[in-house]
Every structure is written in structure tokens, then in C-alpha cells.
Chain A
Amino acid sequence: QKEVEQDPGPLSVPEGAIVSLNCTYSNSAFQYFMWYRQYSRKGPELLMYTYSSGNKEDGRFTAQVDKSSKYISLFIRDSQPSDSATYLCAMRELYNNNDMRFGAGTRLTVKP
């Protein structure tokens, strides 16, 4: 079993749809959770990060963490064609900067 599992997709939705992207993990010591967006032929860029269980909202994006289930999600409301990218979840132990674990990524296409 991989330490971080991510729905592989690909996922294709119409413009305006609500998108749900998900990861599960096995290491209960993970405390710091991130979502990165990666456009084709580019490096990942940080979208959101959170330390705690619950929801964190930033514009059209909501990150959700359920530590009891070891499950994290990223919701995108009113999805746009510009949201078409690969989304990577990432996580690490709170005081260990040097051991970030990434999911394999979900490729999302939003069709106009």
C-alpha cells in the first residue's frame, strides 16, 4: 500500500461543475496537508495548505481534512477551463520539512 493514495483520474467535467479531488493516507503522524496545482510542462504551485481537521476556504477552493479517516479533499466550485491541470496532494509530519510525501496526481479537464 502506498503511503499516500490519490484518485488517478483523469477527470473531465463541464464548466461550472463542482469538482471533488481526494487523497487517503496511512501515516497518522502527518499533520500538514497541501494541495498543489501543476499545469502541463510546469512545476507544481501551491494552492492551499492546512494544519488541522475541518475545512479551509479560499475563493472557489475548499480544502477538507478528516484526520480520523486519514482522508483529505479539495473542492473546486464553479470550475473554469483555466482550472484544467493536474492536482497533487502532499503531506508531511509537522516538524519535518524534509520528508514531504506526494500523491501521484489527478488530471482534471474542465470543458467550456
Chain B
Amino acid sequence: NAGVTQTPKFRILKIGQSMTLQCTQDMNHNYMYWYRQDPGMGLKLIYYSVGAGITDKGEVPNGYNVSRSTTEDFPLRLELAAPSQTSVYFCASTGGSPLHFGNGTRLTVT
């Protein structure tokens, strides 16, 4: 049972480039989330989904997009990367009780 899997683990982007952070879970959870974690700031919610085909904005959605075509997958798209998007990104899922997190993607935008 893999839980929540995120790829890639690390990535360096140049300003203005785009990329997709992948997240997949094998627990059949309906709820999935994307957070970013910055030093001294705690985890901030970017986007979430309550089921396939349904997504909504979190606290810090600007510069990001998501889609949820299946229960298992919840990719996060960065368009026109900016230095402010340098962060560690965590995907999480839940079936209604506490969150299960992946091990994160470390993204640097230079």
C-alpha cells in the first residue's frame, strides 16, 4: 500500500517555465489537497478537491491550477513559474479522518 505518491521529488525551473506536479493515492479517498510549506509559515492550502470533477481554491491559489479527472490523481499545474513559487509542495488525501501526506516535491524557481 503506497499511500500518497508525489513526483518528482525535486525540480529546478527557470522563471516563466511551466510544470505539473503529480500526485496519486491508492486509498480510494475522495478528498485531496495541495499545500505549500515555506520556512516559518506553516502549510498553506493551494487547492482542494472533494471528488472527481470537483475542485476549489484554497488560501493561496494564484499562479496554480488543478484538475481531478479520476479519484486517484490530483495534478497541480504551475504556469509561468515565479521565484515566489519556490517552496516544498505536499499533496494529501483523506477519507474523512486525518490527512495522509505524500513526501513532497521541492521546487526551486530561479
CA distance A63 to B43 in the complex (A): 21
CA distance A77 to B41 in the complex (A): 28
Chain A hits for B48, CB < 8 A: 98
Q: Are A34 and B42 in contact (CB under 8 A)?
A: no
Chain B hits for A99, CB < 8 A: 45
On chain B, the number of residues with a Cβ less than 8 Å from chain A's Cβ atoms is 22
Q: Are B102 and A43 in contact (CB under 8 A)?
A: yes
CA distance A86 to B70 in the complex (A): 33
Q: Are B101 and A98 in contact (CB under 8 A)?
A: no
Chain A hits for B104, CB < 8 A: 41-43
Chain A hits for B31, CB < 8 A: 97-98
Taking residues whose C-beta sits less than 8 angstroms from the other chain, chain A's interface range is 20 to 34
When A and B form their complex, what is the total count of cross-chain residue pairs whose Cβ atoms lie within 8 Å? 48
Chain B hits for A90, CB < 8 A: 43
CA distance A41 to B43 in the complex (A): 15
Segment of A13-21, A44-52, A67-75 engaged in the interface with chain B: A44-52
Is the C-beta of A100 less than 8 angstroms from some C-beta in chain B? yes
Nearest A residue to B92, CB-CB: A43
Chain A nearest CB, measured from B64 CB (Å): 16
A 59-112 contacts with B by CB, 8 A: 88, 90, 97-105
For the complex of A and B, 3 pairs with smallest distance between CB atoms: A43-B101, A102-B42, A102-B43
Interface residues of A (CB under 8 A from B): 4, 6, 8, 34, 41-46, 49, 88, 90, 97-105
- Ordered by A's residue number, 15 sampled pairs between the chains whose C-beta atoms are within 8 Å are A4-B42, A42-B103, A43-B90, A43-B92, A43-B101, A43-B103, A44-B101, A46-B99, A90-B43, A97-B96, A98-B31, A101-B42, A102-B43, A104-B40, A104-B41
Interface residues of B (CB under 8 A from A): 4, 31, 33, 40-43, 45, 48, 50, 56, 58, 90, 92, 94, 96, 98-99, 101-104
Apart from A43-B101, A104-B40: 4 A-B pairs, beta carbons within 8 A: A43-B103, A44-B43, A98-B33, A100-B45
